[in-house]
Amino acid sequence: MEPRITGLHGDDRLFSMTPEALSAAVADISIALVEARAVREPFQLRNLRRTCETMLAGLGVSSDIRAQLQSHGLGGVQNRHYDRHDYAPEKAHTLALWAAHMKGVKEGNGQQSNVVRLVRPSIA
């Protein structure tokens, strides 16, 4: 199944990107945000993945589901050869939980946070 990005072009087109292209895009965004003084230091895609992994663990999501969601699944003979479940319901539930959590962070749900708001720098 191809990932869908809604609103990227004002519609619901299929969108795919290589991991290398995505990492390069994140690096470009990071540099632009540092130059615009919207963030203090540069970041990489792996920083976002690590933050997501850590926060999902804090929300009580099992390591098995986090591994499935982060696209690397689980290792071992049983998982490689016998487990054919696609984990779609579990992933959907986890993404809904993540979206609700991120909405709470954005709205400042009363918890202290070290989240730095990312603003799109204007290009002059």
* Structure tokens belonging to residue 64: 């098995």
Give percent of the chain above pLDDT 70. Answer: 74
pTM of the full structure: 0.64
DSSP H helical ranges for the chain: 19-35, 45-58, 63-69, 77-81, 88-106
pLDDT score for 83: 84
Q: How many CA atoms lie within 13 Å of 86's alpha carbon, on the beta-carbon side?
A: 4
Mean pLDDT of the chain: 80
pLDDT score for 2: 46
pLDDT score for 111: 59
Other Cβ atoms within 10 Å of 89 Cβ, number: 9
pLDDT digits (tens, 9 = 90+) for 6-58: 444 455 555 567 888 888 888 999 999 999 998 899 998 889 889 999 999 99
